[in-house]
Structure 1
Amino acid sequence: MLDVRFSSALKAMLLLGHAEESGSPILSSTQLARSLDTNPSLVRKLMVPLVQDALVVSIKGRSGGVRLGRPADQITLGEIYRSSIGDKPLFAPRAEGPRECLVTNHSAEYFARLTDETEAAVLHALAGRTLADSLDELRAIDRVGAAPGSGRSVAVPGH
């Protein structure tokens, strides 16, 4: 099963970036949970590494929530990926079995190298894109995908 932490964290960050552009930069875990189709407790757990890495700022209190830690054009998707995934490898190798042939003798090392190479390619692709770039891409998709008068657009929770 694929890990959904990055896609969830990225969607939450996009929601926060869009909310900031719309003049309501603080979103509650309940608002984010509704847009992520999950529960507020899971959203709060998802936010922990993003807060620790200063990508998101947590505001305590009755009207609290989270907001971007810095402008969207200064946050790369690579930072969001690294923060949300942590040290978990992209591919988890199968448990070691008996060492009986070329494959079983070297598969662990092979998968470690493959994981490192793939992870480097993913980080390279994500490092060159900012949250602001991604919001621009969403707007372009919305313009192309929305029929005139359809009213389709990227929604901001609570708006």
Structure 2
Amino acid sequence: MIDRSGILKEWLANMTIAAFEYAAMFRIRLESNVRIRTTPNVLYLELRSRAFFGSYTEWTSLVESMPYPARRGELDYPTFAYRIMLCIGSDIIKVEILDDGTLVLLTSDNEEITISGIEDVWEESWILTESSDLPNASKKQIICDSQGEISFFLE
């Protein structure tokens, strides 16, 4: 039997948050400085479900306290962009996968990022993909569908 949780944790272990972009969803670039690695050196984590920092109660309070409210779309996206920007350069030091597919990442800056495993708009909640722009890259993916089921495509 394959240890799926272990594979996901191994992929994300010690990855550095290198960059992010937003176009209808957040996409975070994760990089490793480890030269000899059996897992991908560059990953993209696409967030298609609710994502937040800290506890959800703390998160909603922070969003409501921002000096300029969001003008369109999801009200917490500007706050999320601000917080993920502060995490650029930090490492992922702990990974938790909850029963409903929720992914919880703890960074070296002591930030806790939660990505929900349940989603009601997209078909997927989150997608972790090996970067395709590197030599010898394959199409490895780990996908959490909108119902929290995690699938592995490790080619």
Range into which the TM-score falls when normalised by the shorter chain: under 0.3
Q: TM-score, normalised by structure 2?
A: 0.25
If asked which structure has higher relative contact order (CA below 8 Å, sep 6+), I would say: 1
Q: TM-score, normalised by structure 1?
A: 0.24
Bigger Cα Rg: 1
Structure number with higher strand proportion: 2
